[in-house]
A and B are shown apart, each in its own frame.
Chain A
Amino acid sequence: DTAVSQTPKYLVTQMGNDKSIKCEQNLGHDTMYWYKQDSKKFLKIMFSYNNKELIINETVPNRFSPKSPDKAHLNLHINSLELGDSAVYFCASSLMGGETQYFGPGTRLLVL
């Protein structure tokens, strides 16, 4: 059973479109995260959610919006996609308090 899953694995789309990436975890964790990995492999936190509340929002454009229907899901919705949004997006989950974060397989987004 996959602990943290993401769909889709690959996403190719045109500039200006709106897209969503879904994430689900079956680990019973309290907190979920979205990270972005750019073309140079640099990983940076975008959002984290704890018990359906956004607890930190890094300086990402407001075109990006996380949505959490329940504790096991944290989806990422992106409006008006831009070329610079092309990256790999990773979902992760953990218990609170500095516990280990477990990552999903990543979604490779390519904006044309």
Chain B
Amino acid sequence: AQKVTQAQTEISVVEKEDVTLDCVYETRDTTYYLFWYKQPPSGELVFLIRRNSFDEQNEISGRYSWNFQKSTSSFNFTITASQVVDSAVYFCALSESTGANNLFFGTGTRLTVIP
């Protein structure tokens, strides 16, 4: 069975600090996909990144970076020099290659960036 764990329920940082959001997943599939979504206070779900299980390269996009490690089944997300606009709930999600490719979400991490 698949599972996504985001152990950090809430994190508060002061603006310009770096912050890492943790994500640990479980799956029996050898082919799977990992995602991060952002849900700002306005409520929409914004896609941030997709990674397939065969690509362990880390990725950087502006102030955002992602560290995918299959050995520890983790897909962590780092925001560098955080800004108030980064305040949101962040969800990590898993999709398996078998079945309907539904997204299985973690419980989310609420990030508050204090000015």
Please report A residues at the B interface, Cβ cutoff 8 Å.
Answer: 31, 33, 35, 40-45, 48, 50, 55-56, 58, 88, 90, 92, 94, 96-103, 105-106, 108
Question: B107 to A42, Cβ gap below 8 A?
Answer: yes
Q: How far is the CA of A90 from the CA of B44 in the complex (A)?
A: 9
Closest to A9 in B: B43
Decide: A88 and B47 in contact? CB cutoff 8 A. Answer: no
What class of interface size applies to chain B in its complex with A?
20 to 34
Whether the pair B100, A50 counts as a contact (CB closer than 8 A) is yes
Chain A interface mostly helix, strand, loop or mixed? strand
B100 touches A56 (CB 8 A): yes
Q: Are B44 and A103 in contact (CB under 8 A)?
A: yes
**Bound: A42/B44 CA distance, A:** 14
Contact A101 B44 (CB under 8 A): no
What B residues does A40 contact at CB under 8 A? 107
Task: Report whether A42 and B105 are in contact in the complex, using a CB–CB cutoff of 8 Å.
Answer: yes
A33 CA / B102 CA spacing, docked (Å): 8
Verify if B45 is at the interface (C-beta below 8 Å from A).
yes
Which among B14-22, B70-78, B89-97 touches the partner chain? B89-97
Q: Do A44 and B100 touch (CB < 8 A)?
A: no
Contacting A97 at CB < 8 Å: which of B43, B91, B101, B105? B101
10 contacts between A and B (CB under 8 A): A31-B100, A42-B105, A43-B105, A48-B101, A56-B100, A58-B102, A98-B31, A98-B32, A103-B47, A106-B44
